[in-house]
Amino acid sequence: MTFQEYLVYFEQILTSPQDYELYRNEEYFNYTKLNWSRMNRWLKRFEPDEAVESLISSITEHQHWIVITEPWCGDAAHSVAQLYQIVKNNSNIDFDIQLRDAEPHLIEDYLTDGGKSIPKLIIRNDVGHDKVIWGPRPQQLQEIFVTMKAEGKTFEEIKETMQKWYNEDKGVALQRELINELA
């Protein structure tokens, strides 16, 4: 789906959670509402830095950017909006959203340490070859996540630490990693 279709899908979940089995669960639904707020904040406030903007605008070959995600994903609330803001003005880049939990389960080809962690970004060239695979979060935050998990921290502690990290980083690490991968 396009990013706009994803936004519509996301809104449908928020207005009619009873129509989506997973979102009948109050915890998932409340976290999804929070993700909607976070994503919209990034859509309003995030602007790519000059280096990323220059790099993305220099892409003249057709590319297909596929993001595997779900509305309930906290990491996606930050990264997906930023990725969209980064590429939205380059007509050579198709930005496609694939839901992790829907057919054709593309995530099976892009596991993280054997798990279906999202979001995942796959950048393909015009003949369908993967050029870049990124995700589920910036590397520095991934290391924090792995360490906290190994230390037995609760999911609430991990989520709080990650949220603070995203707010302080403001998309800098994601942009730096994209530059390193694409340059």
* Structure tokens given for 101: 């939990």
* CB neighbour list of residue 113: distance below 8 Å, 6 or more residues apart: none
Element (H, E) at 79: helix 74-87
Element (H, E) at 119: none
pTM: 0.95
Please state which architecture CATH assigns to domain 3-137+171-182. Answer: 3-Layer(aba) Sandwich (3.40)
Q: Residue ranges of the chain with pLDDT lower than 70? A: none
Contact 47/85 with Cβ under 8 angstroms?
A: yes
For residue 127, the model assigns a pLDDT of 86
* CB neighbour list of residue 53: distance below 8 Å, 6 or more residues apart: 86
For residue 128, the model assigns a pLDDT of 85
In the chain, domain spans: 3-137+171-182
For residue 104, the model assigns a pLDDT of 83
